[in-house]
Amino acid sequence: MELPIYLDNNATTPLDPRVLEAMLPYFTNKFGNAASRNHAFGWVAEEAVDYSREQVAKLIGCTEKEIIFTSGATEADNLGIKGVFEMYQDKGNHIITATTEHKAVLDTCKHLEKAGAKVTYLKVKEDGLIDLQELEAAMTDQTILVTIMYGNNEIGVVQPIKEISAIAHKHGALFMTDATQAVGKIPVDVNADGIDLMAFSAHKMYGPKGVGVLYVRRKNPRVKVTAQMDGGGHERGMRSGTLNVPGIVGLGKACELCRLEMDSEAKRLSGLRDKLESALSQMEESYVNGNVEHRLPHVANISFKYVEGEGLMMAMKDLAVSSGSACTSASLEPSYVLKSLGLSDDLAHSSIRFGLGRFTTEEEIDYAIENTKKAVNHLRDLSPLWEMFKEGIDLSKIEWAEH
């Protein structure tokens, strides 16, 4: 077993060697521009892109023509939301999203507010799921788009996508989802789920960084987005720019592998995740964040009360994880996602996200359990709050000098 152990697969995943192998020729002798229609170099590249498009389509249950390649999920989120807002201006200006969305969605919505959009940010319940009745109540005749993420990047909860899209459609709005954490990990089918637009990226599923997809529905209804990048009219005019052929080949291979291995892999990962989670949640004053029933198989988010996440990560130096503590940010604000669940700031500061992946082994999880327990105990020995808790002092009754 090699140290450090990578348990931050919600941030990014390593490239699968099989994906790399598929990509390599497209950096060297198969270097053509997929838009070169009049010679063999272009045809070879185009063929590879077409094959990749097929693989992506198969994974999410759509047709090839509905795939728009982008530079990643952030660009896809921008193109989807801004593109719908501009294209459907005559229908309305209201967008509904949720407070736990990724910044690529939230900041895009904020940007559009300056351009005249009305945006509703739905709160989530304690378990991280949105309240469907609240969504229903927020719908107006001006609502053009509901955009709610599939699986959350910090806590892994999976939203009731079918129910959400049904509500959006009932009121004549489009439904978009940022499915970056879900595609390739759990079954996502755009037709069964009623998805009109969907953003995701390759590097969260063992593909390369710098390539992603916006799925845009072509039938029932035919969805259009206004291009956000002008140029050669690539990707059916919705996203100009020479295609990143090696990246797209890698994305295609990554999708193919995820589709073929999803069932067994999801079972294996949720087994390891459960082992990790049950061992760590047996520790005194530790809490699992988010709904534990409706969620991705590969993420556990746990708060260890009375220790601070960043300090804790330093003690877990052989583990690469992340924390909801934002001690490094200038604002000193902890994770807005955890705060949206109603977690107090101190519990949000005390959280650690473990993100498992295709290359995580049971041996690594066993090591992670021991390493984390040791680190938590060590930091609790250093913590004045732990000492006070042990003495039975009610910390909420103390007047803290907030700084």
393 interacts with other proteins by CB under 8 A: no
Task: Answer yes or no: are the C-beta atoms of 83 and 95 closer than 8 Å.
Answer: no
Amino acid at 305: K
Query: At its nearest, how many Å lie between other proteins and the CB of residue 208?
Result: 26
Nearer CB in complex with other proteins: 17/384 = 384
Q: Is 109 a catalytic residue?
A: no
Query: At its nearest, how many Å lie between other proteins and the CB of residue 314?
Result: 4
114 interacts with other proteins by CB under 8 A: no
Strand partners, 178: 199
The residue from 329, 392, 394, 397 that contacts other proteins (CB under 8 A) is: 329
What is the torsion angle, in degrees rounded to the nearest 10, for the CA atoms of residue 21, residue 25, residue 26 and residue 32? Answer: -160
Number of shown-chain residues binding other proteins (CB under 8 A): 31
Give the whole-angstrom CA distance, residue 41 versus residue 143. Answer: 46
Q: Which of 22, 50, 24, 45 has its CA nearest to residue 35?
A: 45
154 interacts with other proteins by CB under 8 A: no
Residues ≥6 apart with Cβ < 8 Å to 274: none
One DSSP character per residue, 8-69 reads: BTTT--PPPHHHHHHHGGGGTT----TT-TTSHHHHHHHHHHHHHHHHHHHHHT--GGGEEE
The residue from 40, 114, 133, 401 that contacts other proteins (CB under 8 A) is: 401
301 — phi, psi (to 5°)? -120, 115
The window from 41-49, 90-98, 223-231, 338-346 that contacts other proteins (CB under 8 A) reads 338-346
The residue from 182, 307, 341, 365 that contacts other proteins (CB under 8 A) is: 307
∠ CA 16-48-40, nearest 5°, is 140
The residue from 100, 301, 325, 371 that contacts other proteins (CB under 8 A) is: 325
Nearer CB in complex with other proteins: 280/343 = 343
Query: At its nearest, how many Å lie between other proteins and the CB of residue 344?
Result: 7
308 interacts with other proteins by CB under 8 A: yes
Burial (0-12, 13-18, 19+ Cβ within 10 Å), 331: exposed
402 interacts with other proteins by CB under 8 A: yes
The window from 118-126, 274-282, 289-297, 395-403 that contacts other proteins (CB under 8 A) reads 395-403
The window from 140-148, 194-202, 340-348, 365-373 that contacts other proteins (CB under 8 A) reads 340-348
**DSSP summary character for residue 186:** B
| Residues recognised as catalytic | 327
Q: Interface with other proteins by CB under 8 A: which residues?
A: 306-311, 314, 325-330, 332, 334, 344-346, 349, 381-387, 395, 400-403
